[in-house]
Structure 1
Amino acid sequence: MAHKIVRRAEVDDSHLPATIHPLLKQLYARRNVDLTGCELSLSKLLRPETMMGLSEAAVIIADAIAAQKSILIVGDFDADGATSTSVCLLALRMMGATKIDYLIPNRFDYGYGLSPEIVAVAQSKGAELLITVDNGISSIDGVAAAKQLGMQVVVTDHHLPGKSLPDADAIVNPNQHGCQFASKSIAGVGVAFYLMSALRTELRSRDWYQTHQISEPNLGSLLDIVALGTVADVVSLDSNNRILVQAGLQRVKSGRCRVGITALLEVAKRSPQRIVASDFGFAVGPRLNAAGRLDEMALGVETLLCEDMMLARRMADELDGLNGERRELEAGMQQEALKSLQKLTLDESKLPWGLAIFQDDWHQGVIGILASRIKDKYHRPVIAFADAGEGEIKGSARSIKGLHMRDLLELINSRHPGMIIKFGGHAMAAGLSLRADAFSEFEAAYDKAVREMLKPEQLTGEVLSDGELPTELMNLETAFLLRESGPWGQSFEEPLFDGYFSVIQQRIVGEKHLKLVLETDCGSVMMDAIAFNVDLAIWPDATIKHARVAYKLDVNEFRGNQTVQMLVDYIEPA
């Protein structure tokens, strides 16, 4: 069995205010929330002074604005990159910068980051100052090329640095050695927001706004974009990130958000007034990401920059179409991958510990999502490869708890020099390029290394539960309480409960979702439940009358009516 339900232990919650609902107190305490973590006001944000390189970067950019130099933002082709780029562009415009533009490398032509090839494009645009967002910490050659051409470079990033750093004019990255900024899990867009805040302060100290008769910008107006990028990049929601996300969600709920985000929520059929963090993660983020996966991320950036609702709706429709295309592509690739794995799965012991899968007609843009889906199904680290042309294949890796993917690739690289052309990433996700003819050799080396680094019991995933929810709390009131007590997300998981239930009804809706009516064992509560994307080889099954279910309590809205329902995360016959 690939998963098992494990209950979180009861913990002492006496340090939290007595005014908090007893259920919430326990949930917060289990997620290591202290007294300060209960208060998500912007005044509690970490101070910018502790972020290394921030003031130097602000001075360089302020000087460039004053000298009317041409500034180019170089972003990344995912949602974090698009939101980071948008935050910088909008903030710089508010501060009176006139010569600003942006560039997002097309992932198929240029790959990731500030490469020498992208620097050549920047030069052709007449750029004098480059600001990287959500990339740049590993762009040693690209920064060197820019410096050689007489450009200044400010690197802002949040990815882990390698052994050496680029020779930029300033580097802002909380993960660089010696940086005292406490939130190491801030997203690229969070770093960009902090830089723009420091720039605003720097310009204020120069009397810039008064001299140029500009009203000092309210950067809080950008927090909806910051929240979107933070959630979409799946960084840990520590208290600083939760403050940023909460502030952004409040802007959306109160109708003060960018028209592009409103339009994306519309096409995803989500209500701005009732938005929760997961809507950014599952509805808006993927549509934004689809542009970078299949086409040009510029479409995503333009949607966020847009001021006109009609135009924003057109762009959101286009992103929605790309997302549908991405889903179809991915579903087809997933079927093919599962078919080839099925040959091995008849005997679980024959399934490799590390799954490396490749097909030459797979699309580079969606192999990361494919790897993620296969990893969820089999609870094994997965690398999915696609053809990259010129005798190379490109892989996207997703790991499981307990296996550091970048370290694993480092180990393989040291044992087989030259087999991997290049690689990078972090614990849970990484990317690499191989010679196409080295795939079989890599596959064997990868499985061997995974077997050395994992124990057999780690191949069983844990469904971490907050235990049984008392029947008197299985109601709409509790569902609303939990919804409003977030933002929930990565490393601050939404409450998940489990229990044994009688299965009263079960049927498939929307082709692959299981709709259930469940009753508590004592028969006192009967509730609707839905499990998304179930294994149709197992469900529905009329012989299953009892099940153990791990679920979230959710508010279901249908034709203006609100009812409580269970969102099933995991179900097994009992």
Structure 2
Amino acid sequence: MTRWVERPVPTAAYADLQAAGLSPLLARLYAARGVTSAAELSLEGRDLAPASGPSALYGLDAAARILADALMAGKGIVIVGDYDCDGATATALLVEALQACGAARVDYVVPNRFTCGYGLTPAVLELIPPAAEVLVTVDNGISSLEGVREAKARGLQVVITDHHLPGAELPAADAIVNPNQPACPFPWKGSAGVAVAFYLAAALRSVLDAEGWFAVRPRPSFAPLWDLVALGTVADVVPLERNNRILVMQGLRRLNAGRGRPGLQALLEVAGRASGRLQASDLGFILGPRINAAGRLEDMEIGIRLLLAPDLESARPLAMQLDELNRQRRGIEDDMRNTAEMLLEVETELLQNYGLCLFEPDWHAGVVGIVAGRLRERYHRPVIAFADLGDGWLQGSGRSIPALHLRDALAQCATQAPGLLGRFGGHAMAAGLRLRREALPQFQALFETVLRDRLSAEDLEESIATDGSLRGAELGLETARLLEGAGPWGNRFPEPLFSGSFRVCDWRLLKGGHLRFTLETPGGQRLEAVQFHPPAEPRSTWIEALYIPEINRYRGEERLQLRLRQWQCKEENDARN
């Protein structure tokens, strides 16, 4: 049973925010999310954590110096990216920044998920152009010990930029920039890979400034990079702590002003979404999945070409290709999820486990992570889904719950059974690994043992934090407008979620399996509501629902709509009390 728990609101912060002029509702919402002063709500570019000084990213100066020297000497620079949206945006960002600074020889390489594996692997090194002299990773490399050794043996200078958690040993690179490496004073540990690349670009420009490089050439503006930073940050579901909120807000402002890059404009076109009122959720649910589809089903080269497209004419065919890949991805995902749920209906004893480790021979390696996430959402326990790579190895992708640091759990498995895991890495909430196919039963048993060591039965009970109820005039269109302009909302700075009792006047099934409701409050106010991918149809006259007030815009008209996240049947007498 899912528990709904109202977020506590710190009294002092609530009072201070109201005293600063915020409405009682916004003061309540911000205080419940850890905001203590109105100054923390400023999301201007000048408020970003600095790229220099005592709290700057460790290794940033050394990395920028290497790139500046290479650029001024005309050396060949190659960017090694990753096959997700964060990696694609980081790759495009650094390529664009280097070229804007006057680099004459810049190339990039993106690993193929199915043939190269993750990170700077020996297979990736075979793709490096012979003329490259400096290699820079983005969104990967912190665990690529062997790859860095081989790159150095080939005479390459190596700069690692990453944000994933490091292992016990760091690669022997010439410079490492990663907020999570030991001794790094940078306070924003949840920065995405694209944000780290953005900081490197800014530091590079500063070094070139000091060298007088721009005395005879234009000094580039990096404002056009904001949309890439925003997209990669939201798509990687990193915590929207203040520094990340600034990055996302700057990108949204650029997109909504119609100054986004042609590739993203083309993607919005094929998705049927106009710019002007884009929210962070649009980056995560409209743009991100279409970019990610390239890396999941084919090659992220398509996505990077789109992000670097110089005009709409060249971007539109790529956007249409990505949109079609995303449609294919959704179909594959639906089939895989249905197979998994049928398996769990037959083998019900699996749901007694603290975690789920599932494998089907025909599952797609590029989609197992999404399926793991869907199952995690439904059953609220850590899930790892495996696909067969066809060479005796399985590719596993896992998603976790708040009580479990998944990457640390995998590290414990590796410690307790040396040699069992071929390779692993990731974050607290998402991680990946490779495993010999015959080792799957051993891993399943060990993983369950580790989970029972780290989790309690209470940890497997889902708890949803709410912001209480809205009553009377609060439940209106003006509140929806207020909330729309109060973001960006996202991971660890969640979109406001309210609870309330409603009478179900009417409901109907929409195309795609969604539900549209006509609801009525106990006070008689009628409201439209929608629920996407509902688990069931209402069987009660009264429901207790969790909802987000939003604006339904259609043909120039604006109406209040409640987006239902979850609901429970309720007795009529209880609902009216």
Q: TM-score, normalised by structure 2?
A: 0.95
**Alpha-carbon distance in structure 2 between the residues aligned to 1:410 and 1:59:** 34
2:555 corresponding residue in structure 1: 559
Which amino acid counterpart does residue 287 of structure 1 have in structure 2? R
Q: Is contact 2:240-2:493 (8 Å) kept?
A: yes
2:137 corresponding residue in structure 1: 132
1:239 corresponding residue in structure 2: 242
Q: Map 1:288-303 onto structure 2 (within 5 A).
A: 288-303=291-306
Which amino acid counterpart does residue 339 of structure 1 have in structure 2? M
SS in 1 for 2:366: helix
- After superposition, the C-alpha distances for 1:482-539 in whole angstroms (9 at most, x for unaligned) are 011101111100100001111111111014111111111222x21111111112xx31
**Alpha-carbon distance in structure 1 between the residues aligned to 2:135 and 2:326:** 31
Matched, 1:157 2:162: yes
Q: Is contact 1:344-1:351 (8 Å) kept?
A: no
Q: Map 1:530-569 onto structure 2 (within 5 A).
A: 530-535=530-535, 538-539=536-537, 541=538, 543-569=539-565
SS in 2 for 1:314: helix
2:24 corresponding residue in structure 1: 22
2:381 corresponding residue in structure 1: 380
2:476 corresponding residue in structure 1: 475
- After superposition, the C-alpha distances for 1:119-165 in whole angstroms (9 at most, x for unaligned) are 2321x442100011011111111111111111101111111111111
1:121 corresponding residue in structure 2: 127
- Shifted more, 141-150 versus 15-24: the winner is 15-24
- After superposition, the C-alpha distances for 1:383-429 in whole angstroms (9 at most, x for unaligned) are 10000122111111111111111222222233333332222222111
**Alpha-carbon distance in structure 2 between the residues aligned to 1:225 and 1:411:** 35
2:313 corresponding residue in structure 1: 310
**Alpha-carbon distance in structure 2 between the residues aligned to 1:408 and 1:534:** 32
1:75 corresponding residue in structure 2: 81
Matched, 1:507 2:508: yes
1:11 corresponding residue in structure 2: 10
Q: Percent identity?
A: 47
Unaligned runs of 5+ residues in structure 2 are 571-577
RMSD: 1.3
Q: Is contact 1:384-1:395 (8 Å) kept?
A: yes
- After superposition, the C-alpha distances for 1:214-265 in whole angstroms (9 at most, x for unaligned) are 2111112210111111111100011111111111101111111101111111
Structure 1 residue 94 displacement after superposition: 0.9
**Alpha-carbon distance in structure 1 between the residues aligned to 2:336 and 2:543:** 31
Change (3 A) 1:511 1:240: closer
**Alpha-carbon distance in structure 2 between the residues aligned to 1:506 and 1:255:** 38
Q: Is contact 2:466-2:497 (8 Å) kept?
A: yes
1:169 corresponding residue in structure 2: 174
Q: Is contact 1:72-1:103 (8 Å) kept?
A: yes
Q: Is contact 1:290-1:319 (8 Å) kept?
A: yes
Structure 1 residue 440 displacement after superposition: 2.1
2:449 corresponding residue in structure 1: 448
SS in 2 for 1:365: coil
**Alpha-carbon distance in structure 2 between the residues aligned to 1:67 and 1:198:** 18
Q: Is contact 1:354-1:382 (8 Å) kept?
A: yes
SS in 2 for 1:128: strand
- After superposition, the C-alpha distances for 1:323-374 in whole angstroms (9 at most, x for unaligned) are 00000001000000000101244x7x95322111100110000000000001
Q: Is contact 1:132-1:155 (8 Å) kept?
A: yes
**Alpha-carbon distance in structure 2 between the residues aligned to 1:10 and 1:154:** 44
Q: Is contact 2:45-2:247 (8 Å) kept?
A: yes
**Alpha-carbon distance in structure 1 between the residues aligned to 2:370 and 2:266:** 24
2:574 corresponding residue in structure 1: none
**Alpha-carbon distance in structure 1 between the residues aligned to 2:488 and 2:480:** 14
Structure 1 residue 91 displacement after superposition: 0.9
**Alpha-carbon distance in structure 2 between the residues aligned to 1:169 and 1:419:** 31
**Alpha-carbon distance in structure 1 between the residues aligned to 2:180 and 2:207:** 24
- After superposition, the C-alpha distances for 1:87-106 in whole angstroms (9 at most, x for unaligned) are 11111111111100100010
Matched, 1:324 2:327: yes
SS in 2 for 1:180: coil
Matched, 1:144 2:149: yes
Matched, 1:61 2:67: yes
**Alpha-carbon distance in structure 2 between the residues aligned to 1:420 and 1:71:** 33
**Alpha-carbon distance in structure 2 between the residues aligned to 1:340 and 1:69:** 55
**Alpha-carbon distance in structure 1 between the residues aligned to 2:245 and 2:65:** 29
Match of 1:183 among 185, 188, 192: 188
**Alpha-carbon distance in structure 2 between the residues aligned to 1:177 and 1:445:** 29
Number of residues paired by the alignment?
563
Matched, 1:404 2:405: yes
Q: TM-score, normalised by structure 1?
A: 0.96
Structure 1 residue 451 displacement after superposition: 2.3
Q: Is contact 1:83-1:301 (8 Å) kept?
A: yes
Which amino acid counterpart does residue 532 of structure 2 have in structure 1? F
**Alpha-carbon distance in structure 1 between the residues aligned to 2:65 and 2:20:** 46
**Alpha-carbon distance in structure 1 between the residues aligned to 2:521 and 2:300:** 48
**Alpha-carbon distance in structure 1 between the residues aligned to 2:59 and 2:449:** 42
**Alpha-carbon distance in structure 1 between the residues aligned to 2:251 and 2:86:** 15
**Alpha-carbon distance in structure 2 between the residues aligned to 1:183 and 1:514:** 40
1:526 corresponding residue in structure 2: 526
Unaligned runs of 5+ residues in structure 1 are none
**Alpha-carbon distance in structure 2 between the residues aligned to 1:57 and 1:445:** 40
